Amino acid sequence: MAKKTKKKTITMDKLPDNAHIAGAGLVEDQSITETLETNYMPYAMSVILSRAIPEIDGFKPSHRKLLFTMYKKGLLSGARTKSANIVGETMKLNPHGDAAIYETMVRLSRGYQALLHPYVDSKGNFGRAYSSDMEYAASRYTEAKLEPIAGELFRDIDKDTVDFVDNYDNTMKEPTLLPVTFPSILVNNNLGIAVGMASAICSFNLREVCETAIALMKDPDHDISSTLLAPDFPGGGRILYRREDLEKVYQTGRGSIKVRSVYSYDKEANCIDITQIPSTTTVEAIIAKLVELVKNGKVRDIADVRNEIGLDGLKITIDLKRGVDPDRLMNRLFALTPLEDSFACNFNILIGGVPRVMGVREILEEWTAFRTECVRRRVYYDLSKAKDKLHLLKGLAKILLDIDKAIQIIRATEEEGEVIPNLMIGFGIDEIQAEFVAEIRLRHLNREYILKRTDEIGRLEQDIEEMEGILKSAAKVKSIIIGELTEVAKKFGQPRRSELLYVSEIEETAAEVEEEIPDYPCTFFFTKEGYFKKITPQSLRMSSVHKLKEGDEIVQTVEGNNRCELLFFTDKATVYKAKASDFGDTKASVLGDYVAGKLGFDEGESAVFMVVTTDYSGYMLFFFENGKAAKVELAAYATKTNRRKLVGAYSDKSPLVAAYRILEDVEFMLTATSGRMLLVHTGAVSAKSTRSTIGVQVMTLKGKHTLAKVLPFTEDMAVKPNRYRTKTLPAAGALPAAEDLGEQLTL
């Protein structure tokens, strides 16, 4: 049985004589289920339907009322107005306090930086989404208007594209939805907590969303992951990409996405600068956690932490103690602090007044259906207007036959009320057409004016035919939507803010500090057959005679230390990364380590060049058989994580002839199979940060000839090197002089 509550009885004799309260002193028993149904359920339904859960246009009622008010105030263009004016006007649609309305406006603003594509162009202090201490100024101090992209929310709203309803006091009309021309529900993040349910929709890149929506309209079986790479958060960060996790989110609308902060290491100041953090946390929360870890002795490598938010934006500075490895420390902090956080997805959206949790495909299908209805209603509205205008113009065309007759009818009619019937009888037109003719000004009753107006008849008939064709063809409606999506993507699309960090390429590190790598000098040897040796100076002094396989030879000798990083470029346009400490010390009298086996090369893959570095300075030069050369910054191969394999290390459009690392620009001698030689200065080749760049043409090749050999230039290569130099690239080079071939001319 349901519990019953008892109330204390108040007797009538204790009330004042002048108190008459109906039903006073009576106690009524009521079951808890009835109380929930009559009192709690209406409140719960109101929160779900009218406050917390967004609809297919991407907005909650509070957002929609605010933006529509700004639109009606003409704030799509012109100057900004005080935020207080906007808040006051919005209260005609939204019967809540001004504080709640202004807070909604703040979140939609550019200054607050909570959205990928803000809808409110703000001026003044609107606070920051990433800081809980930065409060926004009062509405009387700030100004705002609508951003240009907001025009896409209201396009053709006055053409009956959506339904309008009365506001709370029946004095105004407001739209139930906005006729958005792009899937804004996925473009800007949306969070809401209702009663018994919630919604958490992450943001995606506008261009990717539009491309995916177009692809799904063309092919319902389209692979969403191929165009919608991953969420794109307004604060940036690095998304830990797991395809299976994203597939779950795309299919079910539920799942979790991990986001890491973005940092850089300042070697001179010995500090870490954090410039991007997950959108689910704040600067203050991160600093508080760091301070707690230092106080508890869990992290001993931090000397100081500072909040350096300024005009340039977010910045947290972590000062390090001497000798601390910044990457290793950050890996620990990712595990212990909100510097790495998760966004819990829950794509709960109101569809026809019913909350539904949907995957990305289903959301885009629902949006397409909604937008299709908007377009059809707009076309039908234009069609009705065109038909009405055509009807009037046809009536006007009839009086063209005898303008004098029309004037005579009007002049001869004694009573004003008889003008319309007489015109109808005289020209065989209906009442609407007669009313239109009768309202024409006297100055317009000339042949030129009437001819100009009736010239529109042919164009209107053509437009009507076209619009009727659209209403009959679903394909034409889709074509219109695709055109609008393409236009929006082109006009408002932005590059991704959140980088993708592939989890499969991340070597997970333990939270505890790893054993320090010993540092001592050593010499590295790399052979033509792909063998590697790391030899200490002491061992090298004892024996410098190398043991090699038959036909093998040493092609690179580099001095370094045990903390150096090694990059092995292969003939499959791949680079394998390793640390010098990964290889054991050896002697010249042994073959050494076979790099392909040690680093797990793919079958048939061979190492062709080795780079030894500590700071990734300088450039990589790649020369190809087609005569092109690519100059890539070595920093392009640096990674924040311990990735062992990087594909696309250089272009594979043409076979590689030679690879070199340079610290400064020098000259190289290129020799083609035709025998021609060309001296190229690397300063003439512009550096690229993209590893797989195809490079620039440096040597012109004719016929089936290719580039055969590339060597660093030395003075003994040519007697007259200017013969092979050129002022412009590309160049064909010159055939070698006799003296350069070691020949002697005779008479």
Q: Residue 278: which pLDDT band, with cuts at 50, 70 and 90? A: very high
- Average pLDDT of 213-240? 94
- Average pLDDT of 442-459? 76
Catalytic residue among 71, 112, 130, 141: 141
- Average pLDDT of 391-413? 81
Contact 255, 318 (CB under 8 A): no
Higher pLDDT, 337 or 503: 337
In 3D, which of 615, 659, 650, 632 has the Cα closest to residue 526? 659
Q: CB-based contacts of 673: which residues, under 8 Å, 6+ apart?
A: 705, 706, 707, 708
Cα dihedral 245, 118, 358, 473, rounded to 10, equals: -120
Would you tell me how many other CB atoms lie within 10 Å of the CB of residue 327?
A: 14
Of 256-260, 292-296, 400-404, the one with minimum mean pLDDT is: 400-404
**pLDDT for position 4:** 41
- Average pLDDT of 508-523? 59
- Is the confidence at residue 584, as pLDDT, over 90? no
**pLDDT for position 1:** 39
- Is the confidence at residue 703, as pLDDT, over 70? yes
- Average pLDDT of 249-261? 93
Structure tokens at 111: 């200054």
- Is the confidence at residue 228, as pLDDT, over 60? yes
Of 2-16, 308-322, 560-574, the one with minimum mean pLDDT is: 2-16
* Calpha distance 350→25 (Å, rounded): 45
Structure tokens at 49: 């339907």
- Is the confidence at residue 133, as pLDDT, over 50? yes
In 3D, which of 441, 316, 450, 463 has the Cα closest to residue 392? 450
* Calpha distance 136→141 (Å, rounded): 10
Of 140-144, 509-513, 532-536, the one with minimum mean pLDDT is: 509-513
- Is the confidence at residue 408, as pLDDT, over 60? yes
Instruction: Tell me if residue 141 is catalytic.
Output: yes
* Calpha distance 493→488 (Å, rounded): 7
**pLDDT for position 225:** 92
**pLDDT for position 35:** 79
DSSP letter for each residue of 213-226: HHHHHH-TT--GGG
Cα–Cα separations (whole angstroms), residue 267 to 34, 199, 273, 319, 637: 69, 43, 11, 11, 19
- Is the confidence at residue 103, as pLDDT, over 70? yes
- Average pLDDT of 106-134? 93
- Average pLDDT of 361-366? 95
Mean pLDDT of the chain: 87
Q: CB-based contacts of 435: which residues, under 8 Å, 6+ apart?
A: 420
Cα–Cα separations (whole angstroms), residue 70 to 63, 151, 263, 421: 11, 11, 39, 47
- Is the confidence at residue 508, as pLDDT, over 60? no
The residue ranges of every structural domain in the chain are 12-45, 59-179, 262-338, 369-491
Tell me the per-residue pLDDT of 45-98, one tens digit each, with 9 for 90 and over.
888 888 889 999 999 999 999 999 999 999 999 899 999 999 999 999 988 889
Cα dihedral 196, 202, 208, 210, rounded to 10, equals: 40
Of 189-198, 485-494, 504-513, 710-719, the one with minimum mean pLDDT is: 504-513
Domain formed by 262-338, architecture = 2-Layer Sandwich (3.30)
* Calpha distance 359→338 (Å, rounded): 27
Q: Residue 8: which pLDDT band, with cuts at 50, 70 and 90? A: very low
CA 557 to chain centre: 45
* Calpha distance 286→278 (Å, rounded): 10
- Is the confidence at residue 24, as pLDDT, over 70? no
Q: Residue 506: which pLDDT band, with cuts at 50, 70 and 90? A: low
For 231, which DSSP code?
Answer: B
Q: Residue 747: which pLDDT band, with cuts at 50, 70 and 90? A: very low
- Average pLDDT of 505-519? 51
- Average pLDDT of 382-395? 90
CA 227 to chain centre: 12
**pLDDT for position 154:** 95
**pLDDT for position 439:** 79
**pLDDT for position 20:** 56
In the block, residue with structure tokens 């495909």: 361
**pLDDT for position 25:** 62
Four-way CATH pick for 59-179: 3.40.50.2000, 3.40.50.850, 3.90.199.10, 3.90.550.10: 3.90.199.10
Higher pLDDT, 25 or 214: 214
Cα–Cα separations (whole angstroms), residue 745 to 65, 161, 476, 724, 742: 94, 90, 80, 21, 10
- Is the confidence at residue 745, as pLDDT, over 90? no
Would you tell me how many other CB atoms lie within 10 Å of the CB of residue 566?
A: 23
Q: Residue 23: which pLDDT band, with cuts at 50, 70 and 90? A: low
Would you tell me how many other CB atoms lie within 10 Å of the CB of residue 632?
A: 22
- Is the confidence at residue 111, as pLDDT, over 70? yes
**pLDDT for position 433:** 86
For 735, which DSSP code?
Answer: P
- Average pLDDT of 697-702? 91
CATH number of 369-491: 1.10.268.10
- Is the confidence at residue 438, as pLDDT, over 60? yes
**pLDDT for position 217:** 95
For 148, which DSSP code?
Answer: G
- Is the confidence at residue 10, as pLDDT, over 50? no
Tell me the per-residue pLDDT of 458-477, one tens digit each, with 9 for 90 and over.
889 999 999 999 999 999 99
Would 59-179 and 369-491 be classified into the same CATH topology? no
Structure tokens at 41: 């359920």
- Average pLDDT of 235-258? 92
Q: Is 120 helix (H, G, I), strand (E, B) or coil?
A: strand
Q: Residue 5: which pLDDT band, with cuts at 50, 70 and 90? A: very low
In 3D, which of 139, 154, 165, 29 has the Cα closest to residue 84? 139
254: amino acid identity, one letter: R
**pLDDT for position 412:** 84
Q: Please count the helices (runs of H) and the strands (runs of E) in the chain.
A: 19, 33
Q: Is 394 helix (H, G, I), strand (E, B) or coil?
A: helix
In 3D, which of 360, 367, 364 has the Cα closest to residue 345? 360
